[in-house]
């Protein structure tokens, strides 16, 4: 799907996006052409997962070949892009890993680290639904919830914590969150939470939020969970709108595939929670490859500066 994508001309770079299930990788040529993304399974969680991930990255780099001038590496969890540190990942179970320097040593290339949601944000800002915005949010609603915050045309990092709206409480005393708190936005309204809530409340296991959405017209439990998730998302986003006054909010991640079934009601609830200034919701344009494209754009910041 990214075969035809193109970023600005510049040095050739390598890009990786490490997720919970797979590692996406691509190369960007000097003319800016983005090659088709390749996927490799993420190593299983273990005491040596960091070394295992670095081995996979080195293997992919060898396979893709070429002469990249730098690499960009997008990681999940909490990531300090500027310091090059993966602060933590609940899913991959690492903490305070100097991933930038370790990947640079393993790959023999300068490496730029970036949080996966900020990577998607860079891509949507350069090529997608946030193009032309000076101030915007790109909110990823998938397994978790986090936002990329664009202020004055730049994606802000704040030591890795800018945009962690998924762990702000929207339902005090609500469902348990993997961060240890209760009632976080992520525990209420992420795609994973919607599916989990339905399974818990009905005893009927569903694989994803899409299955809950498909039932809303016929199943009152599905309707209640969906409406509550949309309401919680709008509530959380209304506070971000009040603080930042973005021109637009781009909705990305698995739940954004629901399209107007999500964005229509979400826009109405958002306007109800923050009526003094409407903020337009837009659907993300780049889909699942946004993270790896954003990692390439981060890598380019190393080569453009050189």
Question: Per rule CB under 5 A, is residue 196 in the interface with Zn ion?
Answer: no
Contact with Zn ion (CB under 5 A): which of 24, 167, 215, 300?
Answer: 167
Stretch that binds Zn ion, among 23-31, 148-156, 171-179, 262-270 (CB under 5 A): 171-179
Q: Would you call 239 exposed, middle or buried from its count of C-beta atoms within 10 A (0-12, 13-18, 19+)?
A: middle
Instruction: Output 175 or 210, the one with its CB closest to Zn ion.
Output: 175
Residue-level length of the chain: 306
CB of 164 to Zn ion, least distance (A): 9
Question: Per rule CB under 5 A, is residue 184 in the interface with Zn ion?
Answer: yes
- Helix 116-127 × helix 290-305 angle, to 10°: 80
Q: What is the DSSP letter of 149?
A: E
Reading the block at residue 12, the tokens are 């050739």
Q: Would you call 140 exposed, middle or buried from its count of C-beta atoms within 10 A (0-12, 13-18, 19+)?
A: buried
First vs last Cα of the chain: how many Å apart? Answer: 31
CB of 253 to Zn ion, least distance (A): 16
Place of tokens 């969680």: 45
Stretch that binds Zn ion, among 13-21, 84-92, 179-187, 200-208 (CB under 5 A): 179-187
CB of 61 to Zn ion, least distance (A): 34
Instruction: Output 164 or 289, the one with its CB closest to Zn ion.
Output: 164
Stretch that binds Zn ion, among 91-99, 100-108, 146-154, 174-182 (CB under 5 A): 174-182
Stretch that binds Zn ion, among 72-80, 87-95, 112-120, 181-189 (CB under 5 A): 181-189
* Pick from 14, 40, 2, 27: nearest CA to 112: 14
Q: Is 85 helix (H, G, I), strand (E, B) or coil?
A: strand
CB of 255 to Zn ion, least distance (A): 17
Site for Zn ion in 221-260 (CB under 5 A): none
Total residues contacting Zn ion by CB under 5 A comes to 5
* Pick from 154, 131, 150: nearest CA to 139: 150
* Pick from 143, 75, 149: nearest CA to 114: 75
Stretch that binds Zn ion, among 5-13, 163-171, 248-256, 282-290 (CB under 5 A): 163-171
Contact with Zn ion (CB under 5 A): which of 29, 58, 64, 179?
Answer: 179
CA distance 110 to 95: 22
Which positions touch Zn ion (CB under 5 A)?
167, 177, 179, 181, 184
């Amino acid at each position: 799907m990214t075969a035809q994508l193109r970023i600005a001309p510049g040095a050739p770079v390598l890009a990786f996006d490490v997720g919970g299930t797979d590692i996406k990788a691509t190369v960007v040529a000097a003319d800016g052409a983005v090659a088709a993304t390749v996927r490799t399974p993420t190593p299983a969680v273990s005491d040596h997962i960091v070394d295992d991930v670095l081995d996979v990255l080195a293997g992919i780099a060898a396979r893709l070949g070429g002469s990249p001038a730098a690499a960009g590496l997008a990681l999940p969890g909490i990531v300090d892009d500027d310091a090059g540190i993966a602060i933590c990942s609940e899913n991959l179970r690492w903490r305070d890993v100097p991933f930038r320097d370790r990947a640079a040593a393993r790959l023999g290339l300068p490496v730029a680290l970036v949080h996966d949601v900020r990577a998607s944000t860079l891509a949507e800002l350069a090529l997608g639904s946030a193009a032309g915005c000076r101030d915007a949010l790109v909110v990823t609603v998938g397994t978790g919830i986090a936002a990329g915050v664009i202020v004055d045309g730049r994606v802000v990092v704040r030591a890795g914590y800018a945009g962690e709206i998924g762990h702000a409480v929207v339902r005090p005393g609500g469902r348990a969150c993997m961060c240890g708190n209760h009632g976080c936005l992520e525990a209420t309204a992420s795609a994973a939470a919607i599916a989990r809530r339905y399974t818990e409340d009905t005893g009927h296991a569903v694989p994803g939020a899409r299955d809950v959405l498909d039932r809303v017209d016929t199943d009152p439990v599905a309707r209640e969970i969906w409406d509550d998730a949309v309401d919680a998302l709008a509530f959380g986003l209304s506070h971000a709108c009040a603080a930042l006054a973005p021109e637009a909010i781009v909705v990305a991640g698995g739940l954004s595939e629901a399209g107007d079934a999500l964005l229509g009601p979400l826009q109405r609830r958002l306007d109800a929670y923050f009526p003094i200034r409407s903020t337009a919701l837009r659907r993300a344009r780049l889909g699942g490859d946004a993270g790896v494209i954003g990692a390439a754009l981060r890598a380019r910041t190393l080569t453009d500066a050189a």
